[in-house]
Amino acid sequence: MAALEQDARGRMLGRIRRGLRRGELPESVASGLVERLKAHPRNLIPARSKLPRAEQVALWKANIEKEYGTVALAASEAEIPGLVADYLASQNIPAVVRLAPDPSITSLPWHDRPLLSVAAGRAEGTDVVSVTPCFAAVAETGTMFFPSGPHHPTTLNIVPETQVVVLRQSRIVGAYEEAWDMLRREHGTVGDGPTGTRFMPRNVMLVTGPSRTADIEQTIELGAHGPRRVHVILLQDEQP
């Protein structure tokens, strides 16, 4: 099997080269392409998110609300458990919450709200609410980046009916490219792949509001398979 596939790989690459009327790329060209990968030039970033800070944050909020997300503001970490409990009560959702096993979430003063039952871990089929951190959020479209890892299992983003996201305002950026740069900076290690660096988590979900479908008569309905509600608690951690 392995030998055969090696052949298939060679044959497919060979057919591509014949179509392009050339052989394997000369080293000079190939190294230029590797350099382009390493430099990963930004192409064109729309001007809409290049704004003064306060307006950029407001644009993120307007965009996520346009996409049916909801936002509550927290002045301090201490307020967050209360905001979670109040939100769940307002929506008649059972106060049983699966927390992301991330210190920034588990260290919040959950015991201030004894009626809220919390446990940390991945989401199981029976979990109805998750609370997760957010790595970065993009003002351009309201999109939130959720890289996976031991502290942030992917199931938390997709299995429960309600996802509560704790977003630190300082993690709001203008465009997707800025979020990737943060990921490269904060997760980058030396890797043995062709570019020599490794930073991609197993899974990165870019989420822009709750799950939806327009498959019936091309009309949008929320809550197709993933969360029916995405509620963001925006922690105001920046000096105005």
Residues 87-126 that bind other proteins (CB under 8 A): 101, 121-123, 125
Q: Which listed residue (35, 53, 214, 238) binds other proteins by CB under 8 A?
A: 214
Residues 6 or more apart whose CB falls under 8 angstroms from that of 194 comprise 34, 37
CB of 93 to other proteins, least distance (A): 16
Q: Which is nearer to other proteins, 75 or 216 (CB)?
A: 216
**Secondary structure of residue 159 in the 3-state scheme:** coil
Task: Work out whether 56 is an interface residue with other proteins (CB under 8 A).
Answer: no
Q: In Å, what is the CA distance from 187 to each residue of 23, 34, 92, 129, 226? A: 37, 21, 38, 28, 27
Task: Work out whether 65 is an interface residue with other proteins (CB under 8 A).
Answer: no
Task: Work out whether 132 is an interface residue with other proteins (CB under 8 A).
Answer: no
String of contacts with other proteins for each residue 168-187, x by CB under 8 A: -------xxx--x-------
Burial of 39 (0-12, 13-18, 19+ CB in 10 A): exposed
CA distance 137 to 160: 21
CB of 37 to other proteins, least distance (A): 5
Q: Which stretch binds other proteins (CB under 8 A): 73-81, 91-99, 104-112, 212-220?
A: 212-220
Task: Work out whether 50 is an interface residue with other proteins (CB under 8 A).
Answer: no
Please give the structure tokens belonging to residue 5.
């596939």
CB of 72 to other proteins, least distance (A): 21
- The length of the chain is 240
Q: Which is nearer to other proteins, 79 or 102 (CB)?
A: 102
CA distance 18 to 20: 5
